[in-house]
Amino acid sequence: MPVLRIVKEYNNLSKLNGIVETDTVKFDSKDDGYKWVAAIQAQNALSRLDWDLIDYEWSLLNFESSEILENPTGGFVGKLHKTKN
């Protein structure tokens, strides 16, 4: 099962505006993953999501958690929990 590692930045539609984090998304095939990326980019172009897809790559390992890369707000303290789909 391919795993896509994504880097996303929350935009002004989110209370986490400006925070950049990594996450993982599992797919049945890489083709499904590329279709998902295209759909996300289309939604970002319409400003419908509260986060923007900055980068993505196929992961060789399956990381089960999110990681905050940047926190320009400085006041956000806490822990991100993976949600079950």
pLDDT band at 73 (very low <50, low <70, confident <90, very high): low
pLDDT in tens, 30-45: 999 999 999 999 998 8
DSSP string, the chain: --EEEEEEEE-TTSTTTT-EEEEEEE-SSHHHHHHHHHHHHHHHHTT-SSEEEEEEEEESS---S-EEEE-TTS---S---PPP-
46 pLDDT exceeds 90? no
Query: Residue 66's pLDDT is what?
Result: 61
Query: Residue 3's pLDDT is what?
Result: 87
Mean pLDDT of the chain: 80
